[in-house]
Structure 1
Amino acid sequence: MSTAPLPDTTPLPGAARPATPLPVTAVTCLEDRAQVERTATAELSAGVQRLRLGPLTALAVDRSLRAESDTPGVRVLDARITRVWTPRAPLPPGPEDSALRHRLHALDERRRSGEQLADRLEARLALLAQLSADLLREVGEGAGVGEVERTRWHRELNRVDAERERSAEELRATRARLRELEKERLAALTAVDEAEEEPAELLAHVELTVEAGEAGPARLTVSHLVPCALWRPSYRATLAEGVLRLESEAVVWQRTGEAWTGARLTFSTARSALATEPPALAEDVLTLRERTAEERRTVEVELREETISELRPGADGVLPGVDDGGEVRVLSAPAPATVPSDGRAHRVPLGSFEGAAHSEYACAPELSPLVTQVVRFRNTAGHPLLAGPVELVRGSGFTGRGRLPFTAPGADAELSFGSSDGYRVVRETDERRSTAGLSQRSVTTRTVRLHLSRFSGPEERDEQVVAVRERVPVSEVSAVEVRLRKEECSPAPDAFDAEGVVRWDVPLGPGARRTLTLVYEVSASGKVAGF
């Protein structure tokens, strides 16, 4: 009888070696994950051998694992991630554990003893209640047959009631102590969670099958994706004596199970999880029909609000940023950084620049009665500034938070440093309607009056210029005409653009008051309906 040969079970050289450390050397943070790169140096023998590297986080994505070597004559044949679950035994803390661990263990023991005492007291109270019921039943039965033992019954009932009262009081005191112990235990548990990190029960290692032409050291590089990590841009703007300093930072959160210690950090706006398939096209049927007599006689118009949008030089569509689908941007931290795995926000500096800042006080009374200090500056960082929150700092210290829009290199940006309490704006409107002659055109004349006041202290002597903006409707149809009556405006506007925004640059000295008057008319023909 013939038998098939048995497979060779001899382990490859190096299979029994201990795990080689595989530290994190570089991390590329994406919008909702991170690409982790690890580097290790291992001593290899000639031939095929198996290496065990790690440990590493158990959250590593298996299908994203890549391993290679830049050492001549070394080739990686296979790479895989293996995981081992080692549950921790419920043992008391030892001498190497911290005082917080010992205190938490002591509180757990006291709570367990208190719960056992409460259970015994509850059982005792239940027995005493049963005994009291038996005594009362005996009293009833004895009284029914004429056997009256008042002295014994009185003594036994008093003894049972006294014991029940003592046990109930002891149970209330025990429960009160348990509540206090639970509060102390929760406080100690919170302190342990904030100060210490639990060792991982699930550990992962990388197993590599490597072929080496000759014995010697080899440099191995392993990369993989990991979830539970993200980043967002953040800024800090400091205004002092007409100079704005803008500091760029990356705020990083990660809970991957291992710290990134001294790693080179790169921040990318790429969305690797975003679907790349184009959307499906649906049919859109257009039909033509003759207008009715009523539709030919009238023109339907409506008044709507539109946001004035503007693309900066060099932009050709949606502006890029972390929170949009624009062009991918990559920013690198100038120095290695450490990000612990605690799920908290950690700031990594990216760079800073200084530049001249043009400051003005601006007001749009139709939207808000506040006068705001607006600072304009130019992006000289050499790279785009992604949209993100900004901490605002000026002479008096921290003044608030704002938001910086996406700013291309060399483009102008503006930041609002908050409102000024030294100004007050009151807006009044008046509207008159009339019909012009035989044409039956309806004319609506609107008058807007703005009253500006400046309240200043005795130390303020300089004059400030406030940029005031008001809106005038813009018509898109010939049947409706809008005309700015400049001869009735007081004073005449300094600027009037195609979007219907009227601007005055109003100089105000200490304690000064000014009144601005804007007059415009909207005329519509008799065919216009809905206006």
Structure 2
Amino acid sequence: MPPTELPTVHVPTADLPVGTPTPLPVTAATCLEDRAHLERTATLTLAAGPQRLRLGPVSPLAVDHSLRTELVADDGTARVLDARLTRSWTPREVGPPGAADSALRHRLHELETALRTGAGRRDRLSARLALLDQLTTDLLREIAEGAGLGEAEPVRWSRELDRVAGEQDTHGEQLRALDAELAELAEQERAARQALDAAEAPPQELTAYLDLTVLAEHPTTATLTVRHLTPCALWRPAYRAVLTEGGLRLESDAVIWQATGEDWSKVRLTLSTARSALAAEPPRLTEDRLTLRELSGAERRTVEVELREEEITTLGPDTTRSTTVSDELPGVDDGGEVRVLTAPAPATLPGDGRPHRIPLGGFSAPATAELTAAPELSALVSEVVAFDNRAGHPLLAGPVELVRDSGFVGRGELRFTAAGAVAELAFPGADDYRLVREVEETRGSSGLPGLGQRTVLTRTVRVHVSRLSAPGERGERSITLRERIPVSEVSAVEVRLRPQVCDPAPQEVDAEGVVRWELPLPPGGRRTVTLGYEVVASAKVAGLSA
């Protein structure tokens, strides 16, 4: 049996009346790196026939082309004919605040009025003093001309000068008092404005509504779901690490900012690292021609090398994708794969643009701690705490509040850590250690010119470690000291340790060139660690900097 096609209904939507707006609150929100995907739900009572409904108000920042509606009627006979966002701008009324305004807004209006009145008084006093200065100038000119002509009137001149001087003193004192009063009023006005900005949001002048045209064959009840994107909403991960003798407790939070013009009340909150703004079109193909040529004699005789810094990154056993983060798109470091987190409880987020922390969960794990120092980077000794990621999902990179039994001790940073991998946090360490690092370098050569001559760069690093303990302290404490040596990637350059110089001998030298010592120090103890190595390069190597 062929399917029955629904007849096309042409309804003049402009002639349909619009009733009282129906609320359309936000019931679910998915926050991305720089925007949010909102879901709104409302229950509608529909009459038979075509009708036009107005719902809202909604955020005026809603993206029109992302608007999607879904109408589910109880009898299945209703459908949406048209849906669009309409915006209107209502400027704020000019004049003093009304009875519905807060006392703080009334106070701010009084201060602004007093400032305007005081500014007018100041202008009048300044004009009066300018006239008195002009009068004094004219009076002195009259005295000079009269004395020159022999028409002296000392009594009248003295009386006039005294009167003008008295008025200048009076008005000058009034002007100084008024300046002090205006300065005080300006300070009060600034404080009141700051308090108003912190306590109240500015009145919204731009409003938006969803105009919906619906056709129902019979009177029914329907559930409307509206989805759209909106800017001015974003999130970032944050953590709180509490270190105790029994281990470490890591609590995950989401810090969310939203200034969409409306509050989100008890919404289902989802957090995603998807980059919806990232272009998804394939790259443009261009011609890439490869050619072969013979090396010149100078190129055959020279090997260009350079020194570069590389960061050592370890994410764990279940990392299967590249962890390189592009500098062109700063944001949440998700390890190159989209991660989705869900808040365990409904969240309420005011649209004030301020950061709000939403708890996501946490876990406890055993932790190991070691005092470690890298004198090349810092002269401080830190306590590195290592623990397993038992969250069941990767930990995104973010700031961490560090807490001990004594309370808050500082802030740190947690790097992206895969599920089950080992994470590390640097807590403030002991402050009774002092490190002094010295480096000596010499450059020489070995071999005969033209017969295997080689350049030898020798470096000697000395680190003086002191433990300044309080009186009466007992027991040794060990710190892990790390230095590094270069790692060569070409056969023409060789890096060698000098065992006869290293004192004490290092416990470990890994493949990345990191040299490690374990140094036990008693109270008041001192140690000097010496590391010696040499970089040997053949004569044809160029670019090896000192």
Bin of the TM-score, shorter chain as denominator length: 0.7 to 0.9
Tell whether the 8 Å contact from 1:36 to 1:223 is kept in structure 2 after alignment: yes
Bigger shift: residues 395-404 or 105-114: 105-114
1:310-363 residue CA offsets vs partner (Å, 9 max, x unmatched): 454323213677157822211111111222122211111111111111211222
Query: Which one of the candidate residues 351, 356, 359 is aligned to 1:349?
Result: 359
Instruction: Give the counterpart of 2:521 among 502, 508, 514.
Output: 508
Distance 1:98 1:485, change over 3 A: same
Provide closer, same or farther for how the CA distance between residues 319 and 261 of structure 1 changes in structure 2, counting only shifts above 3 A: farther
Q: 1:390 aligns with which of 360, 382, 400?
A: 400
Distance 2:95 2:301 in 1: 91
Q: Spell out, residue by residue over 1:372-430, the C-alpha distance to the aligned partner (whole angstroms, 9 max, x if none).
A: 21111111111111111111112332221111111111111111112321223334445
Change (3 A) 1:192 1:298: closer
Mapped partners of 2:123, 2:543: distance in 1: 79
Instruction: Please point out which of 487, 506, 510 is paired with 1:497.
Output: 510
Match of 1:4 in 2: none
- CA 1:410 to 1:298, structure 2 compared with 1: closer, same or farther past 3 Å? same
Quote the residue 2:185 is aligned against.
181
Mapped to 2, the partners of 1:9 and 1:377 lie a distance apart of 63
Alignment of 1:4-19 (within 5 A): 11-12=15-16, 15-19=17-21
Q: What code does the residue aligned with 2:432 have?
A: G
The answer to whether residue 320 in structure 2 is matched with residue 315 in structure 1 is yes
Match of 1:205 among 204, 209, 231: 209
In the TM superposition, residue 163 of structure 1 has moved relative to its aligned partner by 3.9
Determine if contact 1:495/1:504 at 8 Å carries over to the other structure: yes
1:290 counterpart letter in structure 2: E
Q: Which amino acid aligns with 2:61?
A: L
Structure 1 counterpart of 2:251, one-letter code: E
**Is the 2:89–2:206 Cα contact (8 Å) retained in structure 1?**
yes
1:435 to 446, 449, 454: 446
Partner of 1:362: 372
1:420 to 430, 433, 448: 430
Distance of 2:30 and 2:272 partners within structure 1: 7
Q: Alpha-carbon deviation of 1:254?
A: 1.6
Give 1:410's match in structure 2, choosing from 420, 437, 441.
420
Return the offset for 1:93.
3.4
**SS at 1:70's partner residue?**
strand
What's the secondary structure of 1:180's corresponding residue? helix
Deviation at 1:39, TM superposition (A): 1.5
Partners of 1:148 and 1:527 lie apart in 2 by 105
Taking a change above 3 Å as real, the CA distance of residues 453 and 25 of structure 1, as seen in their structure-2 partners, is same
Deviation, 1:462, is: 4.5
Deviations 1:112-146 (A, max 9, x none): 33233334444545665676677778889989999
Q: Which consecutive unaligned segments of at least 5 residues does structure 1 have? A: 1-6
Shift of 1:152: 5.8
Q: CA deviation at 1:45?
A: 0.9
Are the equivalent residues in 1 in contact too, given 2:243–2:405 (CA < 8 A)? yes
Corresponding residue number in structure 1 for 2:32: 30
Matched residue SS, 1:173: helix
Q: Partners in 1 of 2:507 and 2:406 — Cα distance?
A: 33
Q: Cα distance, 1:84 vs. partner?
A: 2.1
Residue 56 of structure 1 corresponds to 58
CA distance in 2, matches of 1:443, 1:84: 77
Contact 1:22 1:40 in 2 (8 A): yes
Which stretch of structure 1 is more off in the superposition, 230-239 or 108-117?
108-117
Give the TM-score taking structure 1 as reference length.
0.87
Equivalent in the alignment of 1:67: 69
Q: SS at 1:182's partner residue?
A: helix
Secondary structure in 1 matching 2:194: helix
Alpha-carbon RMSD across the aligned residues, in angstroms, is 3.3
Match of 1:43 among 42, 45, 69: 45
User: Which residue in the other structure is 2:3 paired with?
Assistant: none
Tell me the secondary structure at the aligned position of residue 40 of structure 2.
Answer: strand
Q: Quote how far apart the aligned CAs of 1:70 are.
A: 2.7
Cα 1:508–1:395 change in 2 (3 A) is: farther
Q: Is the 8 A contact 2:380 2:433 kept in 1?
A: yes
1:483 — aligned with what?
496
Q: May I ask how many residue pairs the two structures share in their alignment?
A: 523
Q: Within the alignment, does 1:332 sit opposite 2:342 as a pair? A: yes
What SS is found at the alignment partner of 2:190?
Answer: helix
Distance in 2 (CA, whole Å) between partners of 1:513 and 1:231 is 48
Alpha carbons of structure 1 residues 120 and 478: separation in structure 2 relative to 1, 3 Å? closer
Which sits farther off after the overlay, 161-170 or 62-71? 161-170
Mapping 1:123-202, distance limit 5 Å: 123-125=127-129, 159-160=163-164, 162-202=166-206
Q: 1:426 to 1:204 in 2, by over 3 A?
A: same
Is 1:267 matched up with 2:271? yes
Q: Does 1:240 align with 2:244?
A: yes
Residue identity matched to 1:63: H
Spell out, residue by residue over 1:132-168, the C-alpha distance to the aligned partner (whole angstroms, 9 max, x if none). Answer: 6777788899899998877666655654554455344
Q: Is the 8 A contact 1:371 1:419 kept in 2?
A: yes
- 1:386 maps to a residue whose letter is L
Q: Distance in 2 between matches of 1:75 and 1:273?
A: 32
Given candidates 122, 136, 139, the residue that maps to 1:118 is: 122
Paired position in structure 1 for 2:8: none
Amino acid at match of 1:316: R
SS of alignment partner, residue 188 of structure 2? helix
Q: Relative to 1, partners in 2 of residues 1:8 and 1:284: Cα closer, same or farther, differing over 3 Å?
A: closer
The residue that corresponds to 2:6 in the other structure is none
Q: So what's the TM-score if we normalise by structure 2?
A: 0.85
List gaps (5 residues or longer) in structure 2. 1-10, 326-330
> In structure 2, do the counterparts of structure 1 residues 517 and 99 end up closer, same or farther at CA, with 3 Å as the change threshold?
same
What is the deviation of 1:483?
A: 2.9
Shift of 1:170: 2.8
